[in-house]
């Protein structure tokens, strides 16, 4: 405006200079009057422009502070600044849109991060798969989602969710969708690119389709058939392969029908959303791959646990399925205890799958130390049995004595003795030998307890001499030869006892016996020697077939169980496996083994294991050394043990009151064993 005025003044002066003095004076006077009137108008216009520019500058300044609201009492901009004001408003609208978009992206990024963290923390594979689909649907505002998992050359349906159709199949909902898988290759072995899912897997890249009905190059006949059957309309698709970092594609994620957050209309998946879903898929693939790897490790471990338990049972036909039945009974009792809402088990429960698995593994491995127990000890059905039943050796000696008696008769006859007397003496000796052998054989069976008189008779029979003519050191193993070191050979013919306890029958302990190591805290001790194969020593066992040394070896299986399991690097969620497996021979009073624990040391799962182990052993019908107890007999024995606190009375009461005793019997006992008993009477006995 000032420049215009200056130009006007210059023009007036030039005009006046060109005119006569009188005319020039008039021109100058007129110009001065005109300029005098124009200056205030010009100054007012300048002020208006300045206010408009200042207002625009203030608005832009507020934009810098991310304040996009219009200022209050904003005057109408002068027409000279209308374009500037319009530009400011355009800028405002653009910034508002940008801010909204940034906010949306930020929300999605926050969701992406939160979803990634949640996926990494999920331990249940089915729920993890379900979470992947739901997270992707939420991130992309999609109506539905499908998860495919690669199984060799097929992509099988794992999860199918559709919010519009209210379909939820697979994952934590149960069985996977009953749909045929998508082949990755055709009949001739060529990659299948006709299906969008298999195409995305082969190319290892995302595929976005705006409208399936207009898409070229892919077969959507199955989609059209599904739509025709359900009345649904499938439009936009986004298919993303699931590929963990550094690994092969393990599956694919497919989203269907993206919705505009503002209008709700079905739209194509925006590129920005596609990138976010790809990022989520990368995280999901890693989390899922890790989870599947952990699942496979768990499966291998569970298989190895059952393998060990099965090997122990298979090692001896006489232990039967002990290692398989005890876990079944223990789990039934644990379920009953966890379900209790009152009484001593009201506050007990396994709350997580990991806790149940920990207990189950402990139950399966409760006798894993038996893998070190010699078979001939576990299987010892007679007193003289080692690898074979040595009663045959003893019988042969009786045969020798009988033959000696017959030779003595013949020599007497040759010497002229009366045949009747010689025959009578021979017959008496044969009857004596037969009677003695029958007694020794009966002692060998071990079906009845031996009295002092029985033991005395054995000692008398054992002292009977017989004569050996052949070298007894021929054909021996180096181990047998080593046990004869320091024992001078007897000159032949050698007179020996009919039943012998010899020095070479003693087998000493080997080095590194864990029960002798105080660092383990075992109170149970092995016998003075590892084995004593002495014939008289074994036949003199008062009850059963096992010597004290062999019983100690049997008891050592729990020592070996603890040593084996506590030496394993169990993860934190399995750290109690050795406890659950290694305490089932402890009692509440400290009289058990191998550590002499008391009630304060024994958890409820450990007490459950003790009851399960005893009851299975009592009712098992596959033991060579005893007859299986009937249901009432076994319950009666358990009741006595509970009254003496050898087992937990509360667990015993739970065993009866919960009905576990009957359910177990119906599953695993011979029907002939299942009889009736008075539950109330047994419970009253324990409570007294």
Q: Write out pLDDT tens, residues 100-138.
A: 666 566 565 555 566 566 666 667 778 878 888 888 898
556 vs 457 pLDDT, higher one: 457
Mean of pLDDT values over 141-167: 92
Q: What is the pLDDT of residue 686?
A: 74
Residue 80 included in any domain: no
Place of tokens 């901009």: 77
What's the rounded Cα separation, in Å, for the pair 605 and 599?
12
Contacts of the segment 661-665: beta carbons below 8 A, 24+ positions apart: 661/615, 661/631, 661/635, 663/332, 664/328, 664/329, 664/332, 664/615, 665/619, 665/631
Average pLDDT over residues 514-534: 79
Q: Grade residue 89 by pLDDT with cuts at 50, 70 and 90.
A: confident
598 and 526 within one domain:
no
What gap in Å lies between CA 21 and CA 590, rounded to an integer? 140
Q: In which domain, by residue range, is 448 found?
A: 391-537
Question: Is residue 269 classed exposed, middle or buried when 0-12, 13-18 and 19+ CB atoms within 10 A define those classes?
Answer: buried
Any alpha helices (H) in 141-249, and if so which ranges? 196-203, 221-230
- The CA distance from 44 to 209, in Å, is 61
Structural domain contains residue 56:
yes
Q: Is the pLDDT of residue 178 over 90?
A: no
The CATH number for 158's domain is 3.30.450.40
Q: Picking from 12-26, 60-74, 143-157, 168-182, which range would have the lowest pLDDT averaged per residue?
A: 12-26
What pLDDT score does 91 carry? Answer: 77
Q: Are strands 167-170 and 142-151 parallel, antiparallel or unpaired?
A: unpaired
pLDDT at position 644 over 70: yes
**Model confidence at 46, in pLDDT bands (50, 70, 90)?**
low
Q: How far apart are CA 96 and CA 396, in angstroms?
A: 109
Q: What's residue 380's pLDDT? A: 78
Tell whether 361 is covered by a domain: yes
- pLDDT value of residue 120: 63
646 pLDDT more than 60: yes
Q: What is the mean pLDDT of the chain?
A: 83
Of 296, 326, 360, the domain-final residue: 296
589 pLDDT more than 90: yes
What pLDDT is recorded for position 183?
93
Q: What is the pLDDT of residue 623?
A: 65
Is the same domain home to 142 and 268?
Answer: yes
What the block records as the tokens of 621 is 């019908």
Q: Residues 528, 558: one domain? A: no
Q: Judge whether residue 219 has pLDDT over 60.
A: yes
**Are 366 and 408 part of one and the same domain?**
no
What does the DSSP 8-state code read for residue 576?
T
Residue 515 confidence class, pLDDT cut points 50, 70, 90:
low
Res 358: pLDDT: 94
| d(C-alpha 596, C-alpha 601), whole Å | 10
The answer to whether position 83 is within a domain reads no
* 406 touches 422 (CB < 8 A): no
C-alpha distances in angstroms, 77 versus 16, 51, 70, 86, 329?
40, 8, 13, 10, 89
Average of per-residue pLDDT across 432-451: 87
Which CATH number belongs to the domain containing residue 658 in this structure?
A: 1.10.3210.10
Name, in order, each residue with C-beta under 8 angstroms of 308's C-beta and a sequence gap of 6 or more. 364, 365, 368, 371
Determine the Cα–Cα distance for residues 276 and 283; give it in Å rounded to an integer: 11
Contact 146, 166 (CB under 8 A): no
Query: Inter-axis angle of helices 322-339 and 271-315, to 10 degrees?
Result: 130
d(CA 659, CA 340): 13
Find where tokens 């957050």 sit: 261
Tell me: do 580 and 679 sit in the same domain: yes
Residue 93 has pLDDT above 80, yes or no: no
What residue spans of 446-463 are helical by DSSP H? 452-462
Q: 344-401, pLDDT tens digit by residue?
A: 999 999 988 899 999 999 999 888 888 877 777 777 778 788 877 778 888 888 888 8
At residue 332, the pLDDT reads 95
385 within domain boundaries: no
Higher pLDDT, 592 or 31: 592
659 and 513 in a common domain? no
Q: Dihedrals φ, ψ of 157, to 5°?
A: -70, 125
Whether omega before 89 lies within 30 degrees of 0, making that bond cis, reads no
Q: In this structure, what are the phi and psi dihedrals at residue 531, rounded to the nearest 5 degrees?
A: -135, 150
Query: Does some domain include residue 458?
Result: yes
309 has pLDDT over 60: yes
What is the per-residue pLDDT for 163? Answer: 92
The proportion of the chain whose per-residue pLDDT surpasses 70, expressed as a percent, equals 82
Interval 227-248 mean pLDDT: 90
Query: Are 348 and 430 found together in one domain?
Result: no
Q: Nearest Cα to 677, choosing from 658, 662, 660?
A: 662
| Dist. CA 43–CA 36, nearest whole Å | 12
pLDDT for residue 262? 83
Do the Cβ atoms of 532 and 506 come closer than 8 Å? yes
Q: How many CA atoms lie within 13 A of 604 on its CB side?
A: 18
Q: What is the pLDDT of residue 650?
A: 93
618 and 660 fall within a common domain: yes
The values of phi and psi at residue 351, to 5°, are -95, -20
Q: Which of 14-28, 50-64, 448-462, 616-630 has the highest mean pLDDT?
A: 448-462
CB 362 within 8 A of CB 579: yes
Listed in sequence order, the DSSP H helices in 256-341 are: 271-315, 322-339
**Bridge partners, residue 494, by sequence:** 468
Q: Are residues 433 and 519 in the same domain?
A: yes
The whole-number average pLDDT for the span 168-197 is 88
Angstrom distance (rounded) from CA 367 to CA 561 = 6
Number of structural domains found in the chain: 4
pLDDT of res. 277: 87
**Same-domain pairing of 619 and 592:** yes
384 is a domain residue: no
Whether 165 has a pLDDT exceeding 70, the answer reads yes
Q: How far is residue 162's CA from residue 208's CA, in Å, rounded to a whole number?
A: 18
User: Angle at CA 403, nearest 5°, toward 399 and 409?
Assistant: 150
Measure CA 446 to chain center.
Answer: 45
**Cis-peptide into 493, omega within 30 deg:** yes
Same domain, 415 and 347: no
Instruction: Decide if 58 is inside a domain.
Output: yes
Are 501 and 575 found together in one domain? Answer: no
β-strands 506-507, 531-532 pairing: antiparallel
Mean pLDDT of 400-404: 88
Is the distance from CB of 562 to CB of 582 less than 8 angstroms?
yes
């Amino acid at each position: 405006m000032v420049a215009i005025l200056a130009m006007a003044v210059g023009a007036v002066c030039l005009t006046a200079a060109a005119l006569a003095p009188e005319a020039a004076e008039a021109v100058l006077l007129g110009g001065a009057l005109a300029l005098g009137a124009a200056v205030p108008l010009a100054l007012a216009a300048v002020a208006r422009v300045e206010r408009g520019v200042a207002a625009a500058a203030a608005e832009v300044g507020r934009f810098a502070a991310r304040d996009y609201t219009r200022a209050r009492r904003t005057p109408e901009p002068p027409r000279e600044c209308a374009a500037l004001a319009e530009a400011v408003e355009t800028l405002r609208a653009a910034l508002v849109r940008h801010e909204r978009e940034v906010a949306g992206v930020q929300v999605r990024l926050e969701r992406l991060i939160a979803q990634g963290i949640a996926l990494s923390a999920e331990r249940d594979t089915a729920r993890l798969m379900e979470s992947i689909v739901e997270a992707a649907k939420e991130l992309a505002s999609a109506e539905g989602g499908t998860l495919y998992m690669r199984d060799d050359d097929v992509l099988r349906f794992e999860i199918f969710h559709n919010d519009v159709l209210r379909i939820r199949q697979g994952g934590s909902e149960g069985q996977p969708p009953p749909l045929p898988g998508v082949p990755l290759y055709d009949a001739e072995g060529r990659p299948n690119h006709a299906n969008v899912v298999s195409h995305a897997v082969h190319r290892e890249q995302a595929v976005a389709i705006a409208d399936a009905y207009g898409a070229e190059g892919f077969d959507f006949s199955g989609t059209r058939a599904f739509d025709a059957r359900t009345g649904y309309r499938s439009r936009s698709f986004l298919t993303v392969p699931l590929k963990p970092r550094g690994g092969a594609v393990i599956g694919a994620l497919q989203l269907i029908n993206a919705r505009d957050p503002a209008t709700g209309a079905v739209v194509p998946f925006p590129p920005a959303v596609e990138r976010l879903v790809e990022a989520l898929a990368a995280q999901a693939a890693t989390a899922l791959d890790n989870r599947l790897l952990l699942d496979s490790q768990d499966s291998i471990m569970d298989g190895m646990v059952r393998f060990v338990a099965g090997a122990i049972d298979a090692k001896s036909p006489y232990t039967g399925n002990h290692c398989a039945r005890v876990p079944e009974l223990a789990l039934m009792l644990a379920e009953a205890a966890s379900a209790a809402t009152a009484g001593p088990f009201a506050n007990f429960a396994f709350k997580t799958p990991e806790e149940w698995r920990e207990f189950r593994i402990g139950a399966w491995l409760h006798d894993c130390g038996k893998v070190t127990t010699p078979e001939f000890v576990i299987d010892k059905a007679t007193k003289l049995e080692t690898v074979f039943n040595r009663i045959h050796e003893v019988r042969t000696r009786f045969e020798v004595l009988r033959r000696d008696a017959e030779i003595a008769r013949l020599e007497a006859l040759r010497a002229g003795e009366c045949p009747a007397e010689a025959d009578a003496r021979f017959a008496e000796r044969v009857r004596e030998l037969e009677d003695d052998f029958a007694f020794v054989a009966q002692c060998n069976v071990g079906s009845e307890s031996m009295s002092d008189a029985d033991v005395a008779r054995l000692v008398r029979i054992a002292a009977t001499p017989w004569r050996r003519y052949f070298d007894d050191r021929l054909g021996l193993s180096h181990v047998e030869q080593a046990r004869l070191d320091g024992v001078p050979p007897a000159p032949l013919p050698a007179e020996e006892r009919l039943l012998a306890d010899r020095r070479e029958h003693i087998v000493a302990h080997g080095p590194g016996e864990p029960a002798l190591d105080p660092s383990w805290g075992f109170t149970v001790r092995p016998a003075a020697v590892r084995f004593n194969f002495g014939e008289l020593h074994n036949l003199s066992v008062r009850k059963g077939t096992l010597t004290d040394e062999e019983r100690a070896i049997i008891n050592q299986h729990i020592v070996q169980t603890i040593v084996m399991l506590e030496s394993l690097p169990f993860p934190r969620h399995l750290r109690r496996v050795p406890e659950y497996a290694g305490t089932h021979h402890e009692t509440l009073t400290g009289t058990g083994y191998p550590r002499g624990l008391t009630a304060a040391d024994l958890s409820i799962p450990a007490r459950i294991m003790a009851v399960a182990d005893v009851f299975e052993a009592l009712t098992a019908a596959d033991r060579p050394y005893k007859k299986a107890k009937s249901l009432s007999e076994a319950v009666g024995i358990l009741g006595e043990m509970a009254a003496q606190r050898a087992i937990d009375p509360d667990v015993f009461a739970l065993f009866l009151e919960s009905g576990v005793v009957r359910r177990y019997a119906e599953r695993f006992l011979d029907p002939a064993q299942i009889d009736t008993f008075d539950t109330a009477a047994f419970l009253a006995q324990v409570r007294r």
